[in-house]
A and B are shown apart, each in its own frame.
Chain A
Amino acid sequence: NAGVTQTPKFQVLKTGQSMTLQCAQDMNHNSMYWYRQDPGMGLRLIYYSASEGTTDKGEVPNGYNVSRLNKREFSLRLESAAPSQTSVYFCASNPRGQGAGGELFFGEGSRLTVL
């Protein structure tokens, strides 16, 4: 049971470099999300995609772009990495289209360090 798969698990970048975090889910879920986790701040939403073909900004979108390539895949791109983007990034998915129920299924996280 793969669930939500993120790659890479670890990455070190220099300031100004670009990279893409990949996320894929095999549960046929409609909605997908990217969160970042910083010490003492919980998880904050970067971008989300309620369904294939749509993306929306979350709480902290600056410096990031996303692509919902198909129903399975949702990538997060850092065009010009900054030290402030050093964080642990989580991809998540959710099966339902409406309503308040249904938990998020999370990937294992990607630890990014920007020097």
Chain B
Amino acid sequence: AQKITQTQPGMFVQEKEAVTLDCTYDTSDPSYGLFWYKQPSSGEMIFLIYQGSYDQQNATEGRYSLNFQKARKSANLVISASQLGDSAMYFCAMRGGGSARQLTFGSGTQLTVLP
């Protein structure tokens, strides 16, 4: 069974500073994918970034980067130069490599960016 753990229910960061949101995972699949989604107060789910288990380099998408430490089974999201619009709930999720392509989600971290 797959499990995603996000241990930070809430985080605060000052505008323009960087912030790291933690995510650890557990799986027995040798092939898996890790995802981060953003959910603003309006409720939609916005895909941010993806990391494959065999990817050699950490994924980056603009101000988002994924700090992937395979041995530690962690996939932390780093947001650089935080903006007020980054205030939202952030979910880490994982998919195994089999034909069942559903994502397993963590419980989320509520990020608040302070002016």
Contacts and interface: CB of A to CB of B under 8 A. Distances in A.
A86 B22 CA distance: 29
Residue of B33, B45, B53, B93 most packed against chain A (CB within 10 A): B45
A33 to B, nearest CB: 6
Contacts of A53: none
A43 B96 CA distance: 17
Interface string B74-99: 00000000000000000101011101
B50 interface: yes
B44 A96 contact: no
Interface string A11-32: 0000000000000000000010
B68 interface: no
B102 A45 contact: yes
Given A43-B105, A44-B105, A96-B101, A108 B44 contact: yes
A42 B105 contact: yes
Interface residues of B, number: 30
The main secondary structure of chain B at its interface with chain A is: loop
B115 interface: no
Contacts of A109: 43-45
A103 B35 CA distance: 7
Contacts of A79: none
Contacts, number: 71
B44 A94 contact: no
B43 A102 contact: no
B72 to A, nearest CB: 19
Contacts of A100: 29, 31-33, 52-53, 95-97
Interface of B: 4, 6, 9, 29, 31-33, 35, 43-45, 47, 50, 52-53, 91, 93, 95-97, 99-108
Given A48-B102, A100-B29, 8 more contacts: A42-B108, A43-B93, A97-B99, A100-B32, A100-B52, A100-B97, A103-B35, A106-B44
Interface of A: 31, 33, 35, 40-45, 48, 50, 56, 58, 88, 90, 92, 94, 96-106, 108-109
